[in-house]
Amino acid sequence: MNLITITIDAMGGDFGPKVTVPASILVLKKCPNLKLILVGDELAIRNEINRQAKGEHLNRIEVVHATEQVAMDELPSVALRTKKDSSMRVALNKIKEGVAQACVSAGNTGALMAIARFVLKTLPGVDRPAILATLPTIYPNKEVRILDLGANVDSSAAHLYQFAVMGSVLVSGLDNIKNPKVALLNIGQEEIKGNDQVKDTASLLTDSEVINYIGYIEGDAIFSGNADVIVCDGFVGNVALKTLEGSAKLFTYYMTKAFKRNWLTKLAALLAKPSLRYVKKSMDPGRRNGASLIGLQGIVIKSHGGAKSAAFANAIFQAVHEVENNIPELIRKEVETRLEDSE
Amino acid sequence: MNLITITIDAMGGDFGPKVTVPASILVLKKCPNLKLILVGDELAIRNEINRQAKGEHLNRIEVVHATEQVAMDELPSVALRTKKDSSMRVALNKIKEGVAQACVSAGNTGALMAIARFVLKTLPGVDRPAILATLPTIYPNKEVRILDLGANVDSSAAHLYQFAVMGSVLVSGLDNIKNPKVALLNIGQEEIKGNDQVKDTASLLTDSEVINYIGYIEGDAIFSGNADVIVCDGFVGNVALKTLEGSAKLFTYYMTKAFKRNWLTKLAALLAKPSLRYVKKSMDPGRRNGASLIGLQGIVIKSHGGAKSAAFANAIFQAVHEVENNIPELIRKEVETRLEDSE
């Protein structure tokens, strides 16, 4: 059993060490071969550690002090230029130094991407890293991976093609699916469908021998379970993801309104409570918390900024899973083979 | 009380006259100053009319025979070139001939847009018509209009600016809102946010004196009720709209699963049924059925293809409402004034 080392940006997210420390300990208890390096304000981190129940797993925590932290609304370029001793930067450096195999942060997404890209660099043959997340589907026990979710706007067809390769490799590596089904997010309105970006990507994917391309998919089929990987430009993907979040709020609003109408509906609400909680839990983005910054020479996982301990722990599990399956190496090999083929 | 005449593409949509005829009669009963011209297979239309209860309102129906119909999956360019006597084309011609003030169709969106554009032409100063729909928000009794939903991809900043003007005029005309709040759909991830298209549009909108521009909005705030009009490229808008539809299916799936777990949850489901029906009804796109093809020299309303009678009737009501407020004329005036100002 190989020892895995992961760094945690302990100051990132809306709650900092109050969430990152309990989450880290939760994961350490479950993964005996894991070591975590918590980076940030040492005093604050130690205080949180001291609140936890003692045990062997505490020996597998190392605390590394960092004097700064990246603000959630800081411009990525400013964070990259000025925050050399931020918890985020120091945590990412540990991968570069070969001390850790992955980094998890709930901090500023743009800054995390900018710093990770600067510190780790992209894999050879990969032009742009992308953000990949996991979403639920209406097919029992089936999830779907979607990328890019906002790392890149105005992506070219070649970029989207690379996203397809990376998504495909990640899914076969993590979920053990051979030839995962890759779809391209499009609309059904236009003459010969979609914009130039999508049409050009479609012809690249159709010609590809390494990708199991199943064609276009529309927004209403994202959750259909028909595809294993959905590829789109970061602008479009981000709008889709956020619209899903907005829809959830809309449903909750109408649900609350519906159950508050009279005493009978209030009684029904009481009885329906466990079921509604079940729905909320099933749809909860925290359950699938942990987006991959894919295409880098190292594993970087972005947690939702508002994640609580259980959700942040899921992001760490996602990192463990990617380390165990050596995702960047799989992508590197695939891209290399593909480049050789096309020469 | 002026007489309003509207043409109905009686063959459009998944159900044709079986839906369009009862819907037409429903609206005629409520609008005593309305006359409807039903275009399509005369025999099929008459058969449906004969099934309805007799009454004065039947005198306000005229049936016009058309020998062809546009298939739901037909290429717009093919429909435009070859289907000269389709119910859709003949119905649109009636506006051009000055016989009707609006047309309602549940047919092929792309074909409807292509034929409407060819027959009616765009308003002077408008480069591209757009598709505008109405969505619910979490703010009580507040709806939001969003455009474009798929008529245009790769829109320029100038096009998006025109969409903003048209949406703004429509909302002030129909909803009696002075200086409606206009937002631009964007993402929050990038350095200085968004793609070039959005950034360029933002500066046009910021400089505008006719538009009450409130800034960027992200996908999760579409339903927040903060904006009266949301502007986006047709590709992005279509993905957002379809994602909302997909989310609804996802919620329904989890809800059904949640209530089927055991006898207690099944009992709760029974009691909760009226509330869940209420939610479904509130969210039902049919309630707000009737997207406007805005920017044309005439009023064209697109109904959802799968609309039942009540929903299709709502699309006709939308047409009546736009005729009463003379929306194309309001847009023409606004665009004219704006063009003069910029000279």
Average pLDDT over residues B276-301: 86
Helix (H) or strand (E) holding B76: helix B76-82
Contact B138 A196 (CB under 8 A): no
Contact of A107 with chain B, judged by CB distance below 8 Å, is answered with no
Closest in B136, B195, B238 to A187, CB measured: B238
Task: Answer whether residue B292 shows pLDDT above 60.
Answer: yes
**Residue A62 burial (10 A CB sphere; 0-12, 13-18, 19+):** middle
Say what the pLDDT of residue A343 is. Answer: 46
3-state secondary structure of A300: strand
Cα–Cα distance between B33 and A124 in angstroms, integer? 70
DSSP E strands in chain A: the ranges are 4-9, 34-40, 61-65, 102-105, 130-136, 143-147, 181-185, 212-217, 229-231, 291-294, 299-302
Tell me which DSSP letter residue B248 carries.
H
Q: Which residues of A touch B146 (CB under 8 A)?
A: none
Average pLDDT over residues A263-270: 83
**Taking CA atoms, what residue in A is nearest to B77?**
A191
Return all residues near B167 (Cβ < 8 A) that are at least 6 apart: B132, B145, B147, B180, B182, B229, B231, B294
Say what the pLDDT of residue B16 is. Answer: 96
Asked whether the beta carbons of B144 and B229 are under 8 A apart, the reply is yes
pLDDT in tens, A171-184: 999 988 999 999 99
Cα–Cα distance between A71 and A222 in angstroms, integer? 33
Cα–Cα distance between B316 and B22 in angstroms, integer? 12
Q: Please, how many CA atoms are within 13 Å of residue A57, restricted to the half-sphere of its CB?
A: 20
Task: Answer whether residue B122 shows pLDDT above 60.
Answer: yes
Cα–Cα distance between A114 and A329 in angstroms, integer? 21
Chain B, residues 283-312, CB within 8 A of chain A, namely 283
Strand order in the sheet with A130-136: A61-65, A34-40, A4-9, A102-105, A299-302, A291-294, A130-136, A143-147, A229-231, A181-185, A212-217
Cα–Cα distance between B216 and A297 in angstroms, integer? 34
* A192 — pLDDT class (breaks 50, 70, 90): low
Say what the pLDDT of residue A249 is. Answer: 86
Closest CA to B332 of B102, B166, B212: B166
Count of beta carbons in the 10 Å neighbourhood of residue A303: 30
Question: Please, what is the average pLDDT of chain B?
Answer: 91
User: Parallel, antiparallel, or unpaired: how do β-strands A291-294 and A229-231 relate?
Assistant: unpaired
Say what the pLDDT of residue B141 is. Answer: 85
Average pLDDT over residues B94-120: 96
- Sign (positive/negative) of CA torsion A262, A268, A271, A276? negative
Cβ-Cβ pairs closer than 8 A, A with B, add up to 234
Average pLDDT over residues A16-34: 96
Return all residues near A58 (Cβ < 8 A) that are at least 6 apart: A25, A28, A49, A52
pLDDT in tens, B132-144: 999 999 988 899 9
Percent of chain A clearing pLDDT 90 (strictly above) = 72
Mutation pick from B75, B80, B113, B153 vs chain A, by most beta carbons of A within 10 Å, is B153
Closest in A239, A264, A272 to B239, CB measured: A239
Average pLDDT over residues A124-133: 94
DSSP A201-244: HHHHHHH-SS-EEEEEE-GGGTTSS--SEEE--HHHHHHHHHHH
Count of beta carbons in the 10 Å neighbourhood of residue B238: 27
* B213 — pLDDT class (breaks 50, 70, 90): very high
The domain A127-293 is placed in CATH, from the list 3.30.420.40, 3.40.50.300, 1.20.1260.10, 3.40.718.10, at 3.40.718.10
Contact of A81 with chain B, judged by CB distance below 8 Å, is answered with no
Helix (H) or strand (E) holding B129: none
Contact B258 A276 (CB under 8 A): yes
pLDDT in tens, B19-52: 999 999 999 999 999 999 999 999 999 999 999 8
* B256 — pLDDT class (breaks 50, 70, 90): confident
Chain B, residues 266-285, CB within 8 A of chain A, namely 267-269, 271-272, 274-276, 278-279, 282-283
CATH of domain B1-126+295-327: 3.40.718.10
Mutation pick from A139, A144, A239, A260 vs chain B, by most beta carbons of B within 10 Å, is A239
Structure tokens at A329: 């190496």
* B182 — pLDDT class (breaks 50, 70, 90): very high
Asked whether the beta carbons of B119 and B96 are under 8 A apart, the reply is yes
* A1 — pLDDT class (breaks 50, 70, 90): low
Separation in Å, CA A252 to CA A99, A118, A220, A246: 45, 41, 20, 10
Maximum mean pLDDT: which of A135-139, A314-318, B241-245: A314-318
Say what the pLDDT of residue B234 is. Answer: 93
Higher pLDDT, A279 or B131: B131
Say what the pLDDT of residue B343 is. Answer: 46
Task: Answer whether residue A342 shows pLDDT above 90.
Answer: no
Average pLDDT over residues B246-271: 85
Q: What is the ipTM metric for this complex?
A: 0.90
Give CATH 3.40.718.10 domain extents, chain A: 1-123+295-325, 127-293
Say what the pLDDT of residue A140 is. Answer: 82
Structure tokens at B194: 């968004």
Question: Does the domain formed by A1-123+295-325 have CATH 3.40.718.10?
Answer: yes
Cα–Cα distance between B91 and A10 in angstroms, integer? 65
Question: Please, what is the average pLDDT of chain A?
Answer: 91
DSSP E strands in B122-256: the ranges are 130-136, 143-147, 181-185, 212-217, 229-231
Say what the pLDDT of residue B320 is. Answer: 97
pLDDT in tens, A231-248: 999 999 999 999 998 888
Maximum mean pLDDT: which of A190-194, B42-46, B140-144, B285-289: B42-46
Contact A275 B261 (CB under 8 A): yes
Contact B268 A267 (CB under 8 A): no
Nearest-5° Cα angle at B123, B120 to B128: 90
Contact of A129 with chain B, judged by CB distance below 8 Å, is answered with no
Encode burial over B53-73: b for 16+ CB neighbours within 10 A, e otherwise: eeeebeebbebbebebbbeee
Cα–Cα distance between B335 and B340 in angstroms, integer? 9
Say what the pLDDT of residue A329 is. Answer: 94
Closest CA to B318 of B105, B98, B21, B121: B105
Contact A220 B243 (CB under 8 A): yes
Say what the pLDDT of residue A274 is. Answer: 83
Tell me which DSSP letter residue B54 carries.
P
Task: Answer whether residue A190 shows pLDDT above 70.
Answer: no
Note the helical H segments in B185-308.
196-207, 234-259, 263-283
